[in-house]
Amino acid sequence: MVDKKLPFTKEQIERIIEKYPTPFHIYDEKGIRENAKRLKKAFSWNDGFKEYFAVKATPNPYILKLLKEEGFGADCSSMAELILSEKVGIVGENIMFTSNETPEYEYVKAKQLGAIINLDDITHIDFVDKVCGLPELICFRYNPGPLKGGNAIIGKPEEAKYGFTKEQLFEGYKICKERGVKRFGLHTMVASNELDPEYFVDTVNMLLDVAHEITNEVGIKFEFINMGGGIGIPYRPEQNPVDLEYVGNKIKDLFDKKVKGTKLDPLKLYMENGRMITGPYGYLVTKAIHKKDIYKKYIGVDASMANLMRPGMYGAYHHITVLGKENEPKDMVYDVVGSLCENNDKFAIDRNLPEIERGDIIVIHDAGAHGHAMGFNYNGKLRSAELLLKEDGGVELIRRAETIDDLFATLDFSRL
């Protein structure tokens, strides 16, 4: 069970709203830092362990800078993400560039930054070689197909567009070795928002077995394996978070058994979580502006699916707190909805909540990853501000809200 507490009070949020109107996303710096430290400690037994934060989860330079201070790198998959990382000083092998269907200029930029290039397909070896030359260090993304089950979000690996088959791994590493590549890594990513701790232990076990096979047949030395991300968070109060200490200890046992004293020794362990790093420490703050009572009871808020896509896109659950009414009985059943001209623009369906009145402040939990990042401008909706709740209780604006001028900036009205 998870206690869905808030890092701020109603009075704090009311003061913030006076300066920054709703809706907005707000992130808890203290929570993010403590979570980062806990992850690092759970895997501190591995000399060289590194978390490459998945920039796509929360692509804000202030968040990246915060995580850089905690020793994290950046997992990037686009030009914009590479540039964001560069601007906060995350460069070189502190960047893992894992993309797919990648244009030439992105590979060029990744190599210029000295990033670890993680190829998604065997044909990309020739593609990169011709575009900018193969780097000294190369990594491949492994898609185990039916050998490893996926989960509800990422789907079956054999139906995913990502990665090399096992046979292609052997061929690819042979090609790279022949072309002068000296350093090697192995990567996989086969689940998203997974809460079963054994899933990650099994993933590392699979990678170690494959790394041994390739090492023996191809004659290369792996510097690292990247177990990917996918560690989930308990969106529902009745769910339990992944026990990081348990996962760390179980993977340590695997390294003691399958790495220590073998050709893989020493071997660094990398991962690339996004959601579990910032997800539980971000909140969408919105305000009730309408009540509607027809076949169902609706609460209309000033946020919409444009601010948080997950409930409408995936039917995902996000916990809701009505500030000031935390201890009131949840004896009303509402759909909490936004104003898009789409019927899936709903933050909650048939949710038991306390009675809500116009003007009530509503906080939507676990919006710190894949929240603002997935925003869009359909219906001309403007993307909201992002705020950082500092450890000292102060608030910093880390992204201003969009304006109509921003929305129309790429249009030329003069030729009408």
Nearest CA among 291, 298, 305, 285 for reference residue 362: 285
200/275 Cα distance (integer angstroms): 15
Whose tokens are 């030439």? That residue is 104
**Is 76 marked active-site?**
no
Instruction: Note whether 25 and 13 are within 8 A (CB).
Output: no
Instruction: Note whether 128 and 112 are within 8 A (CB).
Output: no
Q: Of 76, 139, 176, 341, which residue is the catalytic one?
A: 341
358/287 Cα distance (integer angstroms): 8
E strand or H helix that includes residue 85: helix 79-87
Instruction: Note whether 87 and 94 are within 8 A (CB).
Output: no
DSSP character string of 294-324? SSSEEEEES--TTT--HHHHH-----EEETT
Beta carbons within 10 angstroms of residue 145's beta carbon: 15
Beta carbons within 10 angstroms of residue 325's beta carbon: 18
Instruction: Note whether 13 and 361 are within 8 A (CB).
Output: yes
User: Residue 211 has which token pair?
Assistant: 């790394």
DSSP character string of 272-283? --SHHHHGGGEE
DSSP label at residue 151: B
Active site residues per annotation: 341
